[in-house]
Amino acid sequence: MKNDEIEPILIKSFAGQASSEEEKRIADWIAASDDNFAEWKRYKALWNKSEALQYSDKINLEKALTTTKKRIPQFRKSKSFKLQWWMQAAAVILLSLIFSVTINYFRQEPVKEVVATNVVYQEVKAAYGTQTKISLEDGTQVWLNSGSKLKFPNTFTSQNTRDVELVGEGYFEVHHNAQQPFIVHTRDLGVKVLGTSFNVNAYENMKRVTVALVEGSVSVIKESKNQTNELLHLKPSEVADYDIEANKIYQSQTKQIGRYTAWKDGKIVFQDDTMEEMVGLLENWYNVDIEVKGEVLLGYHFTATFNDESLDQILKYLSISTSFKYRFVDPKEFGGSRDQRRRIVLYQ
């Protein structure tokens, strides 16, 4: 497959819009040669580096394109025309997602309430396999991991708190404001801070929520309809693990806080992770469904670091090191359609 044929499919994949059949075509194309894999990495780097496309009311696309060209040496000369077309297409996808979410918000909320409060919300989603950086109006910086979403107001109008909603995983560098605490709401928990750096992992397919503090201090609070209770207070290099099913929270200290934020640099890190944890991470990162067959496999643990490897390469390495097998399954085998997520089965 020629590059001009794979480009539009790559765009759909990075934006989380590719079908199972298209994802398979990409996987086959990557596996066909080292040059194809290197090309895929360059496209992925281009997508990740497009931080100039900030999610705001006014986006200067030409300036964003120029900035991106300067950042990626491989695209400075020979691929300038393709870059512009590719970036415009990517920008259209991103902007259309934001625009559709904003429209849906106004359709669902009473118009009077929106006008009265004068609050307009945005919801940003990171494409699968990529990371997205967002700059909030108060100066707070947020990085979203693969497939994660953040809902936030254009302006923090409340005098009491700065509230955002997270689905998935995000790293926050919160601008200090002692009079207006910053609160991240996610699943059953909230993370309340004044100004600090921390990571929150709250993917919906995981059984726990993890908060890792890099610097500063945070309070982890339990949220319900009528009240909030502070569960614990974290210091730097401390981690809170909330077991959702057991409704219990555990606090620990780590000397390797960097493993919780390595995803910001495009790294996948396993450190004595269980099979369930490994599967959940890969599902979220690559937008796939993974089924584990055999209780023996559930006892496996994994320690490894990957940087820009494809899903097939990661599974190949892990399968060799821990003696399991895997196969990609056509969704039709399970009565599904080709538009569904790719399915992978791990077995002995």
Residues 87 and 136 in one domain: no
Residue 296 within a domain:
yes
Residues 335 and 284 in one domain: yes
Residues 70 and 203 in one domain: no
Q: Which range among 3-17, 133-147, 155-169, 188-202 shows the weakest confidence by mean pLDDT?
A: 3-17
**224-250 pLDDT, tens digit each:** 777 788 899 999 999 999 999 999 999
- State the SS3 of 211-266: EEEEECCEEEEEECCCCEEEEEEECCCEEEEEECCCCEEEEEECCCHHHHCHHHHC
Q: CA-CA-CA-CA torsion for 263, 265, 269, 271, nearest 10 degrees?
A: -90
Residue 7 within a domain:
yes
- Residue 98: domain span: 1-108
Residue 114 within a domain:
no
Residues 131 and 230 in one domain: yes
**Mean pLDDT calculated for residue range 299-324:** 91
Binned at pLDDT 50, 70 and 90, residue 56 comes out as very low
Q: Is the pLDDT of residue 116 over 70?
A: no
CATH number of the structural domain spanning residue 175: 2.60.120.1440
Count of the separate structural domains present in the chain: 3
Place of tokens 């991991």: 145
Residues 57 and 100 in one domain: yes
Residues 66 and 130 in one domain: no
- Note the pLDDT of residue 335: 60
Q: Is the pLDDT of residue 92 over 50?
A: no
Q: Is the pLDDT of residue 113 over 50?
A: no
Residue 260 within a domain:
yes
**Residue that is last in its domain, among 78, 108, 138:** 108
Q: How many residues make up the chain in this entry?
A: 348
CATH number of the structural domain spanning residue 308: 3.55.50.30
Residues 216 and 326 in one domain: no
Residues 217 and 260 in one domain: yes
Residue 113 within a domain:
no
Q: Is the pLDDT of residue 97 over 70?
A: no
**Mean pLDDT calculated for residue range 89-97:** 46
Greatest CA separation found in the chain? 61
CA–CA distance, 249 with 233 (Å, rounded to integer): 12
Residues 237 and 297 in one domain: no
**Residue that is last in its domain, among 264, 284, 312:** 264
**59-77 pLDDT, tens digit each:** 344 444 444 444 444 443 3
The fraction of the chain above a pLDDT of 70, given in percent, is 74
Pick the more confident residue, 226 or 198: 198
Residue 115 within a domain:
no
Residues 332 and 209 in one domain: no
Q: How many CB atoms are located within 10 Å of the residue 264 CB?
A: 17
Residues 138 and 236 in one domain: yes
Residues 1 and 85 in one domain: yes
**Residue that is last in its domain, among 108, 132, 159:** 108
